[in-house]
Amino acid sequence: MKKVGVIMGSISDFETVKPAIDVLKELGVPFEAHVYSAHRCPAEASAFARGARENGFGAIIAAAGKAAHLAGALAAQTTLPVIGIPVKSSTLDGLDALLSTVQMPAGIPVATVAIDGAQNAGLLAAQILAVSEPELAEKLDGQRAAMRDAVLAKDEELQKKL
């Protein structure tokens, strides 16, 4: 199976990014996680993205806060799918990172999840790989079924209270 690259702009982003890593671990998706800043070590960030396809990656998650250029900067160097996580790490509550990540100019797409939406980033990366991994697709279907059952169980509880 292809790997997922999980890149964060700073080690201070780690706790926010961790749910993406947890999802990948739970689903048995291979991954590598790195700290590469678009601003503080742009050469290393670019080199990772340029080599990602030949190094066995199938998707990249990029998490950054403030003027969050990381996802776009990585996407500029690869045609692998890039998923951006805007991180709430500033006085602007993550709105700055959301806009920086989501407002990509035409030609270089970044699939942006919610502010601090790392769990969905992990799931979306897994869904991308699952296009050609039937066993992974089955695991994802299983998770959806469990989610549905949990909601319907809560509905049943609610009906008893009413």
Interface contacts to ligand RP5, rule CB under 6 A: 9-10, 12-13, 37, 64-66, 87, 89
**Distance of closest approach, residue 5 Cβ to ligand RP5, in angstroms:** 15
Closest to ligand RP5 by CB, 10 vs 78, is 10
106/21 Cα distance (integer angstroms): 29
Closest to ligand RP5 by CB, 77 vs 100, is 100
108/85 Cα distance (integer angstroms): 16
How many DSSP H helices and E strands does the chain contain?
6, 5
**Distance of closest approach, residue 41 Cβ to ligand RP5, in angstroms:** 11
- Please report, as a single letter, which amino acid is at residue 120: N
**Distance of closest approach, residue 77 Cβ to ligand RP5, in angstroms:** 18
Closest to ligand RP5 by CB, 1 vs 14, is 14
**Shortest CA distance to 72 belongs to which of 44, 111, 36, 34?**
111
